[in-house]
Each structure stands twice: as structure tokens, then as C-alpha cells.
Amino acid sequence: MKKTHFLLSFLALGLINSCQNNDEMVDQSPGQLEIHSKTVNVTTHDGRPFSTGSGNSVNGKFVSGPGGGVLMQGFYWDVPDGGNWWDTVKGKVTDWSNAGIGAIWLPPASKAQNGAYSMGYDPTDYYDFGNFNQNGSVETRFGSRTELEALITKAHTENMQVYADIVINHNSGGQSQANPFTGTNTWTDFSGVASGKFPRSYNDFYKNSYGNNDEGAFGGFPDLCHANPYVQDWLWGRDDSVAKYYKNVMKFDGWRFDYVKGFGPWVVNTWNANVGGFSVGELWDSNVNTLEWWANNANSSVFDFAAYYKMDEAFDNGNLNALNDDMMWKRNPYKAVTFVSNHDTDIINNKMLAYAYILTHEGYPTIFYRDYEEWLNKERLNNLIWIHNNKATGNTSILYTDNDEYIARRNGYNGNPGLVVYINNSSSWQERWIQTNWASQQIKDFTGSSNWYPTTQGDKWVKIQCAPNSYSVWSLNQ
């Protein structure tokens, strides 16, 4: 949901492991630096999508493997109107697949109050994908139903998944009707939706016979009442419910739930139990306890806002020690979707360091469309995606932090060697001795920033380096 203004109009869940942060001293080898190590005991998941990287994909299609998947947010706020967006994204799907991106998150796809100008967060008719003439247009801002279906088909051809942005907290665009629960007229008459599916009236919104309110309302819009069995039936119960229609007819593979602060986590849990598919909730809260509570009760992934705000503190405010703090991915990487920016919020300025962080660490990393296609260096992002998909395996040990430097080790999994990431937020080259998991083996920087090819000592120690205001990622030279 757009939080600053609003237009009116892995993928498989694994076992949940608790995390323990253990501070330990690494034995100091002769002539080497003493390094404090914090190990985050979380289990690596090897079932999320993975790509061999650009130039190594199989028949140009996304290929799964050990490193995990990468999600593309396939839109930004106020993408061009005119009904061309679905075709725009469709034209990029093959390149994204080749880069190692395994899933696309699309904006709300159904007709909203502002018709051809709406970003979709003011939904009117959940079954109008740009094929009914209502709210002033046939097509949505993004295009027609035919174009949307062609985009989803194209993504599936590339072995990619497509996630629907679902807005079920509130509705907009209803007609005025007398409401006995308020004693006034309310805009809650959705009996005339063009699709004829999920007609609604005042008793389907708070306040009503089920109560005065739920967890939260948004923007003064009619607040959908999930306690009403009729609403539940249309959202996920019926064979032609919103959830089942999106999955079985439109062929969406998963869900991004908007503004989940507005209703209980049981709603998402029940949706998932009835329909399945990947799901992630937008719980805008930096408190990791709140994020974990919601994810567990919703049986869903959640956006890691705790990591988001810590990255801003680290990379923009010169305090890389903030990366020692707790985050959702440290609690449960299976349920943490990490991100650097999105359509709602964009506060991190030093974005390449932030992407180097999320694409080398646990969790399910998201890339923002404008960062990838417009604002940042696509070649460098593709390199990080390749590193993520090929090398980012195993649990995480934080090897060193200070205000300007951060070094962490992914410990490898099931024969994959893992990696060491070195992030340097200072204005000069830095070097440090660190302990790897590799004895007497040559390593290299897979970003190409450093031309060193050091060999680890028998005790697994080695000196690595990092360029100013940059990052390097080290692994076995193989």
C-alpha cells in the first residue's frame, strides 16, 4: 500500500529453526588479526529457485538449484498509464530469467475505483482484469486481461513464478446505500460489479452485525469484514473464490498481501491453507518480534523491515555495526523476504552495498524494478544475482564489523563451498585476515573488483581486500 499518498479512484516453507547468537573468539594465528565472530545458527534452505547465471542458463530458462531464488518487483508507483505495462514486463521476462530471477511480483491486477489511472490499491471488482467496462474504462492502468494472461504464460514458459498483489483489507468504488449500522449512507454497495462475482453490501464491511472494527482500517475506505462467513467464502472458500480464481484460472503462483496490519494473521493463514502458493505479507514494522509473530501465525513469509531499517543505518549513516542487530532473516530465513527499496519506500541511498548484503545473505531477496532497469548498474546487479544463486549457501557467521567494514561468511551446504562477503563503506581500500572454511585452497573475488588470487593457509586463514565504498565476494576458484 502506498503509505505517503494514495490515488483514489523458499518458495517452499521449511522447518522453523530458532536462532541463537553466540559470540566467540577466533584463535589468533601468528601475525594475524584477532576477529570476533558471531554465528547466526539458521539452516540453509536448498529448495528455492536458483540460476546458473547469465550465459549459463538451460535453453534460456530459469533453473533451480542450491543458492535460493531472487524476486523481481515488476512495477513502481505510478508506472505509465495507457494500458501498456503488462506488455512492458512481458518484454523483459526472458532477460530476467537469463539473469537468474525466478519470480515476479505484479501490482494489483483487478479493476479499481480510478479505472485506467489506478495503481490497483483501491479495488472494486476482483474479477475484472481489464475485460469489463466499469469505473470509466475497460482496461486497467496496466492493460487488458488478455495481455495479463500472456505475461503470466510467458513467465511460466521461462520457468518463473508470478505473485499477485492482493488487497483484501478494504474496497473502493461502491455505490451509496443506507446503512442501519451507521445510521448514514455509506459507499458499500458493490452489488453491481460487472463480473457479477463477490457482490457486497453494508453487512460485509465494518461496522456491521459482526462488530464495530477489526485490527485496522485504511484511508477511510470501506473496511472488509473477514469475520463474515460470506466474505470468507468469496475470498477463499468457493471454487470460484478470489484466491482459487487467481490461482486456478489466472494461474498466479503466490501472493503479496497488502496492509496486513489491517486484519488478523489468521486471514492469511486460512487463505494459504485453502489455496496454497507462496505468500508474503506487508507488515510495515521494524520490530523483529512483531514480524516473527505475524509470520508464524499467518504461516507466511514477511518483508524484513527490520533488516531494511538496519541497512539504512549501516550504509547511509556510517554504522556497519548495525548489521549485528536482530533481523527477520536471522530468526527464520524461510519466512524473511529482504529488500532494498519498493514502490512505497526508498530511503537507502547506498544501494549497491545494500544489494550486496541481501544477495549474499539468507532470506529471499527482492530487486526493485527501477533499481534494476533504470537507476543502478544492471551488470553489477546481475553479477550479485549470479553469486547469490551459485554461492550463497549455508548458515551465516559474522566475522568482523566496525563502523566502516563488515565481513560475513556463508558456511556452505551440501557440497557447495559458500562464500565470504566483505563490505567496505570507507573511502580507501581495506584488507583483513579472516578465517574461512577452506584449507590450502585458492580463492578469488567473484565480483572482479580485486585481482587477488590468494591461497588459504592450512588453518584456513587468508587475507582478503575490498575497494573503497564497495564490496568483494570470495569463494573457491572453481
Predicted structure pTM score: 0.89
For the stretch 96-155, pLDDT in tens is 999 999 999 999 999 999 999 999 999 999 999 999 999 999 999 999 999 999 999 999
The CA–CA distances, whole Å, from 255 to 1, 106, 225, 378 equal: 14, 10, 20, 27
What pLDDT, on a 0 to 100 scale, did the predictor assign at position 24?
A: 29
125 a catalytic residue: no
Question: Catalytic: which of 81, 258, 285, 371?
Answer: 258
| Site of grid cell 513464478 | 161
For the stretch 165-218, pLDDT in tens is 999 999 999 999 999 999 999 999 999 999 999 999 999 999 999 999 999 999
Average pLDDT, the chain: 89
The CATH homologous superfamily of the domain defined by 47-392 = Glycosidases (3.20.20.80)
> Is 426's pLDDT higher than 80?
yes
Cα separation, 103 vs 419, whole angstroms: 24
Q: Delimit the domains of the chain by residue range.
A: 47-392
* 3 state DSSP class of 284: coil
Structural contact between residues 187 and 222, judged by C-beta atoms closer than 8 angstroms: yes
Q: Over range 342-370, report the average pLDDT.
A: 98
147 a catalytic residue: no
Ligand-binding annotation for 239, yes or no, is yes
The CA–CA distances, whole Å, from 20 to 17, 332, 397, 417 equal: 10, 11, 12, 23
Question: Catalytic: which of 128, 282, 292, 312?
Answer: 282
For the stretch 27-61, pLDDT in tens is 222 222 333 333 333 333 222 222 223 333 455 68
